[in-house]
Amino acid sequence: MKIGDFEVGSIGFGAMRLSADGTIWQAPADRSGALAVLRRAVELGVKHIDTSDAYALGANEELIAEALHPYAGDVMIATKGGVSRPSVEEWIPLGRPEYLRQQAELSLRRLRRDVIDLYYLHRVDPLVPFADQLGALARLREEGKIRHIGLSEVTSGQLEEALGIAPVAAVQNLYNLTDRTHEEVVDLTAKHGIAFVPFFPIAVGDHAKDGGPVATVAAEIGATPAQTALAWLLHRSPTMLPIPGTTSVAHLAENVAAAGLRLTGEQFARLDQAARP
Cβ partners under 8 Å of residue 230, min gap 6: 11, 201, 202, 242, 244, 255, 258, 259, 261
Whether the pLDDT of residue 148 is over 90: the answer is yes
| Residues 152, 24: Cα–Cα separation, whole Å | 18
DSSP-assigned beta bridge partners for residue 116: 146
Question: 224 by DSSP, 3-state: which?
Answer: coil
Query: What is the per-residue pLDDT for 274?
Result: 81
Residue 4 is classified by DSSP as T
**pLDDT by residue (tens digit) across 30-84?**
999 999 999 999 999 999 999 999 999 999 999 999 999 999 999 999 999 999 9
One-letter identity of residue 147: R
Please choose, from the candidates 256, 175, 266, 182, the residue with its C-alpha nearest in 3D space to the C-alpha of residue 216: 266
Please choose, from the candidates 164, 96, 103, the residue with its C-alpha nearest in 3D space to the C-alpha of residue 132: 96
Task: Give yes or no for a contact between 95 and 82, defined as CB atoms under 8 angstroms apart.
Answer: yes
Cβ partners under 8 Å of residue 35, min gap 6: 63, 66, 67
Mean pLDDT, to the nearest integer, of 98-115? Answer: 98
| Residues 239, 87: Cα–Cα separation, whole Å | 35
Average per-residue pLDDT in the chain? Answer: 95
pTM of the model: 0.96
Query: What is the per-residue pLDDT for 20?
Result: 77
Mean pLDDT, to the nearest integer, of 235-258? Answer: 97
**pLDDT by residue (tens digit) across 173-228?**
999 998 999 999 999 999 999 999 999 999 666 556 777 899 999 999 999 999 99
Whether the pLDDT of residue 236 is over 70: the answer is yes
Question: Alpha-carbon torsion 218, 222, 226, 229, what sign?
Answer: negative
Q: Would strands 76-81 and 83-84 be described as parallel, antiparallel, or unpaired?
A: unpaired
In order of 11, 74, 75, 257, the CA distances from 46 in angstroms are 7, 10, 8, 11
What are the residue numbers of the active site? 55
Mean pLDDT, to the nearest integer, of 236-253? Answer: 97
| Residues 149, 163: Cα–Cα separation, whole Å | 11
pLDDT band at 250 (very low <50, low <70, confident <90, very high): very high
One-letter identity of residue 175: Y
Residue of higher predicted confidence among 207 and 87: 87
| Residues 54, 56: Cα–Cα separation, whole Å | 6
Whether the pLDDT of residue 133 is over 80: the answer is yes
Whether the pLDDT of residue 244 is over 60: the answer is yes
Question: CA gyration radius for the chain?
Answer: 18
Query: What is the per-residue pLDDT for 206?
Result: 56
**In the chain, where do the E strands start and end?**
2-3, 6-7, 13-14, 48-50, 76-81, 83-84, 92-93, 116-121, 146-152, 170-172, 195-196
Query: What is the per-residue pLDDT for 203?
Result: 65
pLDDT band at 21 (very low <50, low <70, confident <90, very high): confident
The percent of residues above 90 in pLDDT, for the chain, comes to: 92
| Residues 144, 47: Cα–Cα separation, whole Å | 21
Query: What is the per-residue pLDDT for 212?
Result: 86
Q: Would strands 83-84 and 92-93 be described as parallel, antiparallel, or unpaired?
A: antiparallel
Query: What is the per-residue pLDDT for 242?
Result: 98
Write down the CATH number for the domain with range 2-201+240-247. 3.20.20.100
Query: What is the per-residue pLDDT for 207?
Result: 55
